[in-house]
Amino acid sequence: MGVRQTVRDALTRVYERRLARALVGADVPRHVGVIMDGNRRWARSIGLEDVAHGHRRGADKIRDLLAWCDDAGVQVVTLFMLSTDNLSNRPEAEVSALLRIIEDVAVDLSAPGRRWKVRQMGAPEVLPPETVAVLKRAEEDTCDRPGATVNLAVGYGGRREIADAVRSLLAEHAERGTPLEALVEQLDVEHIAEHLYTRGQPDPDLVIRTSGEQRMSGFLLWQTANAEFHFTDVYWPDFRRIDFLRALRDYSARHRRFGE
């Protein structure tokens, strides 16, 4: 390691400690959503042809992120890992490799000694049965753990989630024998919220997207109505604690009005 890099690393550590001190007593988001973007571009930027290396490197970053969230006191973390659009628009070989990586992440996060509660979030019917089985096992194995809830958004689409919520709501009332006219009269936003994938959880306070893109890509369309957004140019595999602390600093400095 050269002298210049050593100095740069030392300055980064100093700045990181300063950020951490500045956040003591600051408002902390209960629920953080992360759009982990840039894995493929990261791989190509260092000359790798197989983008699965980028997905694998990005997967390795997840444990770091969750440890930082634990340190900050975040209660729920939602990770956007694979969208319904990814499933239909990306090459089959890439999707297959990514699904194996996601399965490995679920197994790792649910391993003995981990504190997190893992939840699968998405439409299981669009995923291979083996992936669904791994995600379900991770959820079952961690349901009683005391740590933060970690939603793995796999086979997820925001519009599909809302459609699924409405279907679930209609099916519930059909089973009860509720007349359609009565349902139309009673229906409000809370009734739909009770059927979302995130039911029972607080809505995201902060959404972080890496890689420089400034769009939501259908992520938690309903739940992010009042969320704060933080966009960073860093590719997800290069995301550091200092980048996470910057996002928290950005969040803590905002005055959340909730439509006021």
Q: pTM higher than 0.85 for the full model?
A: yes
The residues annotated with a catalytic role in the active site are 37, 86
Mean pLDDT of the chain: 94
Above 80 in pLDDT, residue 186? yes
At 204-231, the pLDDT tens digits run 999 999 999 999 999 999 999 999 999 9
In 3D space, the residue among 128, 62, 135 whose CA is nearest the CA of residue 97 turns out to be 128
Q: What is the number of other CB atoms lying within 10 angstroms of the CB of residue 31?
A: 23
**pLDDT band (50, 70, 90) for residue 257:** low
Using a pLDDT cut of 70, give the percent of the chain over it: 97
- Residue 5 has a pLDDT of 73
Domains, the chain? 3-252 (3.40.1180.10)
Residue 1 reports pLDDT greater than 80? no
Order across the sheet with 206-209: list the strands. 117-121, 149-156, 76-83, 31-35, 206-209, 228-231
Q: What is the reported pLDDT for 9?
A: 75
pLDDT tens string 72-114: 999 999 999 999 999 999 999 999 999 999 999 999 999 999 9
> Is 128 buried (19+), middle (13-18) or exposed (0-12) by CB count in 10 A?
middle
Q: What is the pLDDT of residue 10?
A: 75
Please give the average per-residue pLDDT across 149-171, as a whole number: 97
Q: Are 136 and 103 in contact (CB under 8 A)?
A: no
56-63 long-range contacts (CB < 8 A, ≥24 apart) are 56/101, 57/237, 58/236, 58/237, 59/101, 59/102, 59/104, 59/105, 60/237, 61/36, 61/236, 61/237, 61/239, 62/36, 62/105, 62/109, 63/108, 63/109
